[in-house]
Chain A
Amino acid sequence: MTVTLTTSGPLPPEKGAEHTYDVTVIGAGVVGAAIARELSRYQLRTALIDAADDIGNGTSKANTAILHTGFDAVPGSLEARLVREGRDLLADYAADTGIPVERVGALLVAWDEDQLAALPLLRDKAVRNGYHASRIIDADELRAREPHLGPGALGALDVPDESIICPWTTPLAFATQAVRAGVHLHLNCRLRDVRSDAGGHTLTTSRGPLRTRYLVNAAGLYADEIDRLLGHDVFTVTPRRGQLIVFDKLARDLVGHILLPVPGPAGKGVLIAPTVFGNVLLGPTAEELDDKTATGSTAEGLHLLREKGRRIVPGLLDEEVTAVYAGLRAATGQEDYRIQEYPALRYVAVGGIRSTGLTASMAIGRHVMELLAATGLDHGEPHPLPPLTMPGLGDASPRPYLSARLIAGDPAYGTLVCHCEQVTLGEIRDALASTIPPNSLDGLRRRTRARGGRCQGFYCGAAVRALFEEARP
């Protein structure tokens, strides 16, 4: 296994046909990484490039981390199909690779008569989306199952298969498997321009030129701009910001399920959900912006979330806040994905992967593979990928600090460094030496949770930084 992962300097394949990539994927978010993983199953020279210093550093790192069933998708849409298929693919993949997933189920809570009246319609819609397990429960059952809910809840739609998943391990698993199977990963590599000719594309990147026969645009918020570089003008991405508040793990007992609002004219609304790490999320907001870098939080946004959260689970507001973050959905004004193949151009655009891309990622990967084939890519037979086991960051399975066996084999797994999240020296060391190591403390946090807990570094920040700097002089 030779791994090609570069973060600086000119890109490796220089001149000559043998140095041309067969396929280049722009964007190593969860979608681009899933596409690259799919490509890695074939005898192809594939490159995955990203402008950031890490995979999954765009919208994919800042979402609500729900593995959707697709019960509320627009029936008949491409998104509905890919979410449904993607959910099953990812649930299986997660079980195989150790990506933390918990099937906690969702309750769509009705707070007034109108919302109560909407529940049967939502159940019918779920059926049209091929999801048959949802059912309506009354106020008493709801209260019994969610005793900390605020007063006034009238009933709920129970969607038992909605799950929560680790948003960081997922793209990392895809990219790790792809890179181990021979995909070249180039980070800090921003696509600036594309010149297309009969043989393919010459990409101008911040790290020099790159030649590829086929091109996949999975650039998330910037997919429209790259699409324009290829001469199209079919969609415009308008970032829709979602701010979220992460509450302390001690709040976990307040919520059993993903508590969804009944969608109204103003969108999907604010939810409360457990995370696989044992925290509780409150959010997201939905703010139309025009700045694709506006991933900051605002006083108004946080105020609104707290007001909404107080109504849903009043006790939540008494708990400490562990983190605040915001992500940008790639909205395009169309209630569906915008995935389009251009055979003459040997190009596939993967745009508008709005608020379900984590769930649908593997199905999008498959779909794009089919489109590439339809575009003329001769990919040959797939080969199986070697199995992969990701570090277990979730709360549901035992972590290294609780494993007598691991500690006996290597005391580093009993040496706690980050106390709030119980991250051991062994786990940090492993992440720093992994196939795709972190290039920042935030990247290390996404791989291990170190510094991601309630103290945010008061106790361990300097120690974690020292380990990081030691490994990366």
Chain B
Amino acid sequence: MTRNAREVDVLIVGGGPAGLAAGAELAAARAGRVEILEREREAGGIPRHCHHGGFGGRLDRSAYAWASAAGSAYARKGTSGPVYARRSVAAALDAGAALRTGVTVTGWAGPRTVETSGPAGLERITARAVVLATGARERPRSARLIPGTRPPGVYTTGELQQAVHLYGQRIGTRAVVVGDEPVGHAAAATLRAAGVEIVAMVTGRPSPPFRLRSPRTPLLTGATVTGLTGRTRLSGVELRHDDGRATTLRCDTVVLTGDFVPDHELARRGGLVLDPGTRGPAYDAAYRTSRPGVFAAGNLLHAVERAGFAAGEGRAVAVPVLHRLAGTDHPAGGGRPLVVDAPLRWIAPNMTGPDGERPHGGRFVLCTAWRLPRPLLLVSQDGRELHRERQLLTAGPGRPLTLGADWVDRVDPDGAAVRITVL
């Protein structure tokens, strides 16, 4: 026998804010053996290497708490990422969850049985309920199909932050930041901390979606990256401007920020139905995936929300998991998929539940591909209007909108998919 087989009550894959919060909540609720598996040496997830402030606290509830990285007033509220990570770990451990780091879930051996690898060997763990909380990553240069040469000096924010804050590595001297979402400002802050001059922050958008007090970062709007140059080291970022001009910014470092994609490998390998919009597992308001007993939480479901939101989902997933363990959950089925029309990119959750649950916080989250000033949303099924709702704020990429949920009671469980459209 080369794999050690074990059983637990709840297995949580991923020890980021979502997984740790789920573990804390479930352990506190006496859900039996609650085990969190984290593949990194330290649990905590992305916040481990976000040295800026803006984690947790009251402000965390505003979608833009972490826009703050640029040095605005927000950043001084809430705690820094590493502190937040340590607190999340401590909370899970204090509640009695088992946390095993350096252990990777590598695949499935049954509907709720996973295989793991770690320095202590191979295991096969069967759980009564599984929670996937594997997070999201930024798309790298290749996935963005940015042409040109392949020199060193090309980063994502995740790699940059780890290089600077966890390993103290040398970065470069002049950097371009691609993307002006909050994470772009986090990247800029990290570059500055590493003593790197920021040549420009580049965005394809016509104008910044919101005002940021970051005078130190020159913002180039309406510009698309068309190529990278340099052989032994990056030498420049080629841009095309909206007016047709082509320019090259000289730099030895470029950070590609944002453009998140869920880390859905495990979900897919397990045969869970994916939502075509989010590319995470399809799920309902009770965090149920298409596989009974397999739940999901955090940025795996919607790339990307802030840490507090992911943690909130982690806590919220505990209730349906407890129902599952107690055998008081609704029989599966009956949920209708929710689909969106462009420019909307996705909605989360993206299935209705069998029992009319409302999503976390009472509202659905939607993501749009371009800026929408005070959009009017229409919810319909089979041509029948279920709901319409005017947004009070301007939405945009990286600036999600939300939608009330009372219409879920009017969904026909035998009808077609429910459609959300911008009027």
Which residues of A are in contact with B by a Cβ distance under 8 Å? Answer: 246, 250, 293, 295-299, 301-302, 320-325, 401-402, 404-405, 407-408, 411-412, 414-416, 419, 422, 441, 454-459, 461-463, 465-466, 469
Tell me the residues in window 199-242 of chain B with beta carbons closer than 8 Å to chain A beta carbons.
226-227, 231
A-B contact pairs, 11 of them (CB 8 A): A298-B147, A321-B143, A407-B119, A407-B121, A408-B121, A412-B119, A414-B117, A414-B122, A415-B102, A422-B106, A458-B158
Shortest CB–CB separation between residue B238 and chain A, in angstroms? 10
A416 close to B147 (CB less than 8 A): no
A419 close to B159 (CB less than 8 A): no
B140 close to A456 (CB less than 8 A): yes
B142 close to A461 (CB less than 8 A): no
Shortest CB–CB separation between residue B421 and chain A, in angstroms? 23
B3 close to A462 (CB less than 8 A): no
Shortest CB–CB separation between residue A62 and chain B, in angstroms? 10
In the docked arrangement, what's the CA distance between A415 and B40, Å? 9
In the docked arrangement, what's the CA distance between A177 and B32, Å? 56
A458 close to B119 (CB less than 8 A): no
Taking CB atoms, residues of chain A closer than 8 Å to B137 are 455, 458-459
Chain A, Cβ-Cβ closest to B160: A462
Tell whether A321 pairs with B142 under 8 Å between CB atoms, given A299-B226, A407-B121, A463-B162.
Answer: yes
In the docked arrangement, what's the CA distance between A412 and B119, Å? 6
A401 close to B106 (CB less than 8 A): yes
User: Size band of the B side of the interface?
Assistant: 35 or more
In the docked arrangement, what's the CA distance between A297 and B146, Å? 8
Tell whether A419 pairs with B104 under 8 Å between CB atoms, given A293-B231, A404-B2, A414-B117.
Answer: yes
- Told that A461-B162, A462-B166 touch, could you supply 13 new A-B pairs with CB distance under 8 A? A250-B268, A296-B149, A296-B150, A299-B145, A321-B142, A323-B142, A324-B145, A405-B2, A416-B104, A416-B117, A422-B117, A457-B155, A458-B138
Contact flags (1/0) for B33-57 with A, using CB distance below 8 Å? Answer: 0000001000000000000000000
Is B386 at the interface (CB under 8 A from chain A)?
Answer: no
Taking CB atoms, residues of chain B closer than 8 Å to A462 are 159, 162-163, 166-167, 169
In the docked arrangement, what's the CA distance between A64 and B279, Å? 29
B142 close to A456 (CB less than 8 A): yes
Is B141 at the interface (CB under 8 A from chain A)?
Answer: yes
In the docked arrangement, what's the CA distance between A459 and B150, Å? 19
Shortest CB–CB separation between residue A66 and chain B, in angstroms? 21
Is B148 at the interface (CB under 8 A from chain A)?
Answer: yes
Taking CB atoms, residues of chain B closer than 8 Å to A412 are 119
In the docked arrangement, what's the CA distance between A402 and B148, Å? 37
Shortest CB–CB separation between residue B22 and chain A, in angstroms? 21
Shortest CB–CB separation between residue A428 and chain B, in angstroms? 14
In the docked arrangement, what's the CA distance between A324 and B145, Å? 7
A295 close to B121 (CB less than 8 A): no
Is B126 at the interface (CB under 8 A from chain A)?
Answer: no
In the docked arrangement, what's the CA distance between A54 and B150, Å? 16
A401, A407, A419, A458, most chain B CB atoms within 10 A: A458
In the docked arrangement, what's the CA distance between A302 and B148, Å? 11
In the docked arrangement, what's the CA distance between A404 and B137, Å? 30
A458 close to B118 (CB less than 8 A): no
A324 close to B227 (CB less than 8 A): no
Q: Of B139, B152, B265, which contacts A250 at CB under 8 A?
A: B265
Tell me the residues in window 221-278 of chain B with beta carbons closer than 8 Å to chain A beta carbons.
226-227, 231, 261, 265, 268-269
Chain B, Cβ-Cβ closest to A298: B147
Taking CB atoms, residues of chain B closer than 8 Å to A414 are 117-122
B117 close to A458 (CB less than 8 A): no
Q: Of A297, A411, A457, A469, which contacts B140 at CB under 8 A?
A: A457
B3 close to A404 (CB less than 8 A): yes
In the docked arrangement, what's the CA distance between A321 and B104, Å? 23
B162 close to A320 (CB less than 8 A): no
Tell whether A461 pairs with B163 under 8 Å between CB atoms, given A301-B147, A323-B142.
Answer: yes
Nearest 4 CB-CB pairs, A to B?
A456-B140, A411-B119, A404-B2, A462-B162
In the docked arrangement, what's the CA distance between A309 and B239, Å? 27
B140 close to A296 (CB less than 8 A): no
Taking CB atoms, residues of chain A closer than 8 Å to B152 are 441
A407 close to B138 (CB less than 8 A): no
Q: Of A295, A322, A408, which contacts B142 at CB under 8 A?
A: A322
B163 close to A465 (CB less than 8 A): yes
In the docked arrangement, what's the CA distance between A297 and B144, Å? 13
Taking CB atoms, residues of chain B closer than 8 Å to A323 are 142
A463 close to B122 (CB less than 8 A): no
In the docked arrangement, what's the CA distance between A462 and B139, Å? 16
B159 close to A457 (CB less than 8 A): yes
In the docked arrangement, what's the CA distance between A202 and B72, Å? 66
Shortest CB–CB separation between residue B56 and chain A, in angstroms? 23
In the docked arrangement, what's the CA distance between A322 and B143, Å? 6
Taking CB atoms, residues of chain A closer than 8 Å to B380 are none
Q: Of B117, B140, B169, which contacts A466 at CB under 8 A?
A: B169
Taking CB atoms, residues of chain A closer than 8 Å to B268 are 250
Taking CB atoms, residues of chain B closer than 8 Å to A405 are 2
Taking CB atoms, residues of chain A closer than 8 Å to B149 are 295-296
Taking CB atoms, residues of chain A closer than 8 Å to B113 are none
Tell me the residues in window 157-206 of chain B with beta carbons closer than 8 Å to chain A beta carbons.
158-159, 162-163, 166-167, 169
A401 close to B121 (CB less than 8 A): no
In the docked arrangement, what's the CA distance between A456 and B155, Å? 9
Taking CB atoms, residues of chain A closer than 8 Å to B150 are 295-296, 325
In the docked arrangement, what's the CA distance between A93 and B139, Å? 38
Shortest CB–CB separation between residue A128 and chain B, in angstroms? 40
A457 close to B156 (CB less than 8 A): yes
Chain B, Cβ-Cβ closest to A412: B119
A401, A411, A441, A457, most chain B CB atoms within 10 A: A457
Shortest CB–CB separation between residue A284 and chain B, in angstroms? 15
Contact flags (1/0) for B90-111 with A, using CB distance below 8 Å? Answer: 0000000000001010100000
In the docked arrangement, what's the CA distance between A295 and B141, Å? 16
In the docked arrangement, what's the CA distance between A33 and B102, Å? 39
Shortest CB–CB separation between residue A343 and chain B, in angstroms? 39
A458 close to B2 (CB less than 8 A): no
Shortest CB–CB separation between residue A269 and chain B, in angstroms? 21
Taking CB atoms, residues of chain B closer than 8 Å to A456 are 140-143, 156
Taking CB atoms, residues of chain A closer than 8 Å to B117 are 401-402, 407, 414, 416, 422
B156 close to A296 (CB less than 8 A): no
Shortest CB–CB separation between residue B47 and chain A, in angstroms? 14
Taking CB atoms, residues of chain A closer than 8 Å to B119 are 407, 411-412, 414-415
A246, A295, A404, most chain B CB atoms within 10 A: A404
Taking CB atoms, residues of chain A closer than 8 Å to B147 are 296-299, 301-302, 324
In the docked arrangement, what's the CA distance between A187 and B106, Å? 38
Tell whether A296 pairs with B143 under 8 Å between CB atoms, given A457-B156, A463-B162.
Answer: no
Tell whether A296 pairs with B142 under 8 Å between CB atoms, given A250-B265, A404-B122.
Answer: no
Chain A, Cβ-Cβ closest to B165: A462
Taking CB atoms, residues of chain B closer than 8 Å to A408 are 121
Q: Of B3, B106, B122, B140, which contacts A455 at CB under 8 A?
A: B140
Chain A, Cβ-Cβ closest to B2: A404
In the docked arrangement, what's the CA distance between A277 and B17, Å? 32
Tell me the residues in window 330-388 of chain B with beta carbons closer than 8 Å to chain A beta carbons.
none
Taking CB atoms, residues of chain B closer than 8 Å to A293 are 231
